[in-house]
Chains A and B, each alone.
Chain A
Amino acid sequence: MGKSILVIDDSLSVRNVVRNTLESSDYEVTEAFDGMDALEKLEQKRFNLVLCDVNMPRMDGITFLKELKNKPKHKFTPVIMLTTESQASKMQEGKAAGAKAWIVKPFKPDQLLSAISKLIR
């Protein structure tokens, strides 16, 4: 199996789409439905990359990102924000919190895979 990716999104259909896209390129996918759930998953395993939505219940993507960067074990894990948010101010928030890239939904599979391969080469 290939490299492992944590996919965080409150939408089941988006998680399914991302899972299918990534598995077609031999990535191993773990799903989380919000930031809190993702932090629990990170307690059990290390991932090569995290794909994270911004607007989610309980814990949003930016808060999760800040929490992640405070964890020594995971602070160097690259994070891509995958969201419908397209405003420059939101993107700046993501950048300040430590995101490596920002992709505006709906994404194109080949572009997503290309961005991932650039970050976990």
Chain B
Amino acid sequence: MVSNNRKIIFYPLLGFVLGFWITGFVIEFLSTLIFGELTETLNLDWLFNLALWGLVFYNLPDPFIVSLLSSIKADSSKNSQNQGSHVVPSILSFFQHNEEMDALIRQNLQNVIGDTEKASLDIVGRLGQVNYSMKELDQTIISMQQNSEQLAAKSKSSSQENEKTVEYLQQYIEERLSTVDQDHKITRKLSEQMHRMSKLVVMLKGISKKTNMLALNAAIEAAKAGESGRGFAVVAEEVRNLSTQSDDSTKKIEEAINAMVNTIEKEFAIRYTDEKNRKEVNLLEQLKQQLTGIMDSYLRLVTLNKNTIQEINHFSQNATNQVVEAIAGSQFQDIIQQQIETILRSMDLFNEYLQECRQQIETPDLLLAEPLQFDFEAIRKLYVMQKQRMVHDRVLSQDQEGITEQEDESEAGDITFF
């Protein structure tokens, strides 16, 4: 019991001495660090020490400490009215630095706007050149496509003409074969007729020989008749002469016929041999195949050309679309510029608020007036994008009691027709 009483007296006493001594140092150090000479000027060390010592060692109830600290604050306000020259310089310095900082931030943001605009214009300018070149390329491709289509149409027409030529050729080959065959037959027939004529010549020769014999007999009989047969002998002589001439003519005819038969058989017959005909037909067939082959290759080439141009056109159109998309991408600069301009206008509003605060601080009569409130709703009204309003509401929703009523908004890229 005694021991407990000692403890009750000893420990608080010890706590009081040590606490007073230690917290005195700590508070003095902290107050010098935070408020400079303020606490010294106000001479409130003992009150702080007491409050904090009580907090640490006696676990005094919070309301007491709070009221104690409030009284200190009230005292410091009262003192600052009397000795405002010590408080105001720091705050004035803050306002002055704020103005400098504001100018600095503004200049930097303006630089960002300028730089992004310059970069964006440069990108759009270069892509515009590419776009122009792509457009020229498109024109060239369209022209090539038209030429290709014309060529294909011409090729089709040529192909049809060639098919006709090949048909004619085929017909010619067949006609040629038929003609050759017919000529061959005619030649043979002619040859046969010649042979038959040779037989007639033999017959003529026989007649001539018999006539000669008859004339000779007639001459003998005329000689036997004497003077009366003299005239008959002359006739018989003439007949004999005619027979001789007829024989000569027949020989000449025979020779001529033989020569003709030889010529027909040797010259024409050779010309129409089967081998020769086959060679000719083969050559014509080869020519036909070559013509068809050339036309097929040409048509394939024309089709390939057309397909290639179509492919190039397809790729070119894709590239043009990509370039236009890339150009559209530089709209980011306008979006950034508008966001920065909103920040700058927000800074204007906040600066106005700070000016009012400064005026209040510089006017002792206003120092204890109601604290000034900043109107964040005024900033919200500056926004032009849904994103800005969303960020604003998200950041301030915990601090602000009433959140501005949300309005229907369209998304970027949305098109509404009225």
Contacts and interface: CB of A to CB of B under 8 A. Distances in A.
18 contacts: A12-B117, A13-B124, A14-B331, A16-B125, A21-B324, A83-B384, A84-B412, A86-B411, A87-B408, A100-B417, A101-B418, A102-B416, A103-B413, A103-B414, A103-B416, A106-B332, A107-B328, A115-B417
Nearest to B138: A24
Interface stretch (A32-40, A44-52, A69-77, A88-96): A88-96
B410 interface: yes
Given A12-B121, A86-B386, A20 B407 contact: no
Interface string A1-37: 0000000010111101100110110000000000000
A81 to B, nearest CB: 9
Q: Which of B120, B328, B333 has the most CB of A within 10 A?
A: B328
A85 B384 contact: yes
Contacts of B275: none
A107 B385 contact: no
A109 B325 contact: yes
A28 to B, nearest CB: 14
Q: Which of A11, A17, A54, A88 has the most CB of B within 10 A?
A: A17
A30 to B, nearest CB: 17
A86 B207 CA distance: 133
Nearest to B333: A13
Interface stretch (B168-176, B214-222, B334-342): B334-342
A12 B303 CA distance: 47
Contact of A104 (B120, B321, B407, B410): B410
B332 A102 contact: no
A62 interface: no
Contacts of B407: 87-89
Contact of B327 (A21, A84, A115): A21
A118 B324 CA distance: 20
A88 B131 contact: no
Contact of B328 (A17, A91, A95, A101): A17
B409 interface: yes
Interface residues of B, number: 38
A84 B128 contact: no
Q: Which of B334, B408, B413 has the most CB of A within 10 A?
A: B334
A22 B121 CA distance: 17
Contacts of B135: 24
Nearest to B389: A87
- Identify whether the interface residues of B are mostly helix, strand, loop, or mixed: helix
B12 to A, nearest CB: 67
Nearest to A102: B416
Contacts of A101: 415-418
A55 B385 CA distance: 12
B265 to A, nearest CB: 83
B408 A107 contact: no
B127 interface: yes
Contacts of A99: 418
B330 interface: yes
Given A16-B121, A86-B386, 4 more contacts: A20-B128, A95-B418, A99-B418, A100-B418
B320 interface: yes
B411 A106 contact: no
A17 B415 contact: no
A55 B384 contact: yes
B125 A11 contact: no
Nearest to A92: B418
Closest 7 CB pairs of A and B: A106-B331, A88-B408, A13-B120, A16-B124, A11-B334, A95-B418, A86-B409
Interface in B350-409: 384-386, 407-409
Interface in B116-161: 117, 120-121, 124-125, 127-128, 131, 135
B385 A84 contact: yes
A105 B331 contact: yes
A13 B334 CA distance: 7
Nearest to A80: B415
B411 A104 contact: yes
A111 interface: yes
